[in-house]
Amino acid sequence: MPHQLLFVCLGNICRSPSAENIMNHLIQREGLSDQMICDSAGTSSYHIGSPPDRRMAAAASKRGITLAGQARQFHLEDFEKFDLILAMDKENYRNILTLDLKGQYSDKVKLICDFCRHHSDQEVPDPYYGGTEGFNYVIDLLLDACEGLLEG
């Protein structure tokens, strides 16, 4: 049975779909597609059905990574379905755990930056209101975290 990973941010159009697609890129590169399955979700319902942000997609494509998918909201069933739930920042982390009313899934929820090897950031900054540099930085940060997670 493949290991299932869920990446979560606020709206599921910038950070979490980037993490999902970066991880899929690395998994394919390493020939591990049959061992890991990735998805992403948002804690909010703001962008349900929307594609990844075009600025984020542009930053990813510079590194040969295509951002695919449609935004969806995190569901309670995700606690059961996924082996590891990776929050982009501390607010996402708290919002996910707030839904875990019995506290039975907290061991599955982690901050993605815990897996970084080269960056010291504790959170993935939301690039939505910033410039191009912010989107590029998020891609670099997520590449670092996903590589660390894969080598785990």
Catalytic residue (choose from 116, 126, 144, 146): 126
What are residue 9's phi and psi, to 5 degrees? -130, -160
Is 38 designated active site?
no
Is 54 designated active site?
no
Catalytic residue (choose from 15, 53, 78, 144): 15
What is the secondary structure of 49-86 as a DSSP string?
TPPPPHHHHHHHHTTT--------B--THHHHH-SEEE
Is 126 designated active site?
yes
Largest CA distance in the chain: 43
* Alpha carbons 101 and 113: distance in angstroms, whole number: 25
- Write out the catalytic residue numbers: 9, 15, 126
